[in-house]
């Protein structure tokens, strides 16, 4: 534990350990990914992809290691027992901070298959990490506004096609498809701009989860609905590195895959979109109530 040191020094040490972990594992990851790129055959992918996953899991374990060294976090976690690393899951969570990624990876690493996130397209240019996300088949998504799509109707459906292509790869080996229904991190400004009907959440966007269910719903063992609560406030990335994340509450609920939503065409059928909207709104209402209760219990 380094908590006796000044917080900025702890942050610098944590950042150094984070960077060393990245620069150790990413070149190994890229080496195998290049082999897969040069030999784009299903038989090769079936051999290489499990190796890539094992490398990524070791990378995440390294992150958990420096977190244990630099953090003094009280973890209050329920619902992660009995999960199967050899099956498929669709994982959904609320989103408040970059720390969410580390929390989710730390708790789920080797309990379920590697989490595959939908990444904003512009993030593929992030040095080193962009290459790592490409190597791990994280789908890069362009999220266009409705105003943009009205001016460029030819772009409508591009994200859906990218999701379908990604899900085809995910179906080959056990995978956990990770989706943040809000589509972005919660901030009070975004909450006010949206006029969100929820106290602790932004409005959910059902498109990503709908396409994942349509593409490979029969593969998913369950939907893992994750609620993350920071009783002392969501930390920014630097606060997290400095060890200022004192408490985190995580609740995981395993939900059955809604079979009645798997068959419809979300993009083309208004009735299917409305059915998804009803299901998501109820999910989000329940999560909002749960967050209020958890915060109240934690003294917030």
pLDDT at 265: 74
- Asked if residue 96 lies in contact with residue 248, where contact means CB atoms within 8 angstroms, the answer is no
Average pLDDT over residues 283-295: 96
Domains of the chain: 73-297 (3.40.1130)
- Asked if residue 14 lies in contact with residue 242, where contact means CB atoms within 8 angstroms, the answer is yes
The model's pLDDT over 81-103, given as tens digits with 9 standing for 90+, comes to 999 999 999 999 999 999 999 99
Tokens 């593929």 belong to which residue? 124
Q: Quick check: 159 pLDDT over 80?
A: no
Can you read off the two tokens belonging to residue 179? 């989706």
Q: What is the pTM of this model?
A: 0.90
The model's pLDDT over 203-213, given as tens digits with 9 standing for 90+, comes to 998 877 888 88
pLDDT at 74: 94
Q: Quick check: 266 pLDDT over 90?
A: no
């Amino acid at each position: 534990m380094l908590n006796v040191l000044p917080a900025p020094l702890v942050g610098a040490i944590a950042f150094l350990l984070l960077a060393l972990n990245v620069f150790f594992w990413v070149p190994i990851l890229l080496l195998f990914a290049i082999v897969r790129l040069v030999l784009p055959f299903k038989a090769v992918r079936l051999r290489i992809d499990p190796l890539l996953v094992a490398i990524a899991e070791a990378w995440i374990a390294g992150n958990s290691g420096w977190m244990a060294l630099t953090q003094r976090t009280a973890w209050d976690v329920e619902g992660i027992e009995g999960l199967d690393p050899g099956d498929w899951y669709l994982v959904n969570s609320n989103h408040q901070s970059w720390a969410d990624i580390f929390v989710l990876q730390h708790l789920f690493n080797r309990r379920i298959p590697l989490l595959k996130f939908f990444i904003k397209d512009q993030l593929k240019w992030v040095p080193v990490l962009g290459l790592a996300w490409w190597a791990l088949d994280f789908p890069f998504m362009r999220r266009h506004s409705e105003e943009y799509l009205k001016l460029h109707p030819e772009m409508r459906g591009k994200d859906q096609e990218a999701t379908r292509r990604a899900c085809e790869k995910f179906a080959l080996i056990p995978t956990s498809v990770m989706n943040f229904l809000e589509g972005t991190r919660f901030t009070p400004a975004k909450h006010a701009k949206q006029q969100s009907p929820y106290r602790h959440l932004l409005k959910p966007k059902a498109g990503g989860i709908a396409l994942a269910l349509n593409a490979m719903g029969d593969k998913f063992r369950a939907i893992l609905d994750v609620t993350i609560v920071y009783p002392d406030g969501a930390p920014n990335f630097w606060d997290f590195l400095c060890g200022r994340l004192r408490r985190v509450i995580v609740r995981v609920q395993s939900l059955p895959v809604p079979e009645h939503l798997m068959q419809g065409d979300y993009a083309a059928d208004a009735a299917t979109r409305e059915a998804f909207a009803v299901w998501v709104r109820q999910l989000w209402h329940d999560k909002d109530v749960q967050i209020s209760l958890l915060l109240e219990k934690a003294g917030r």
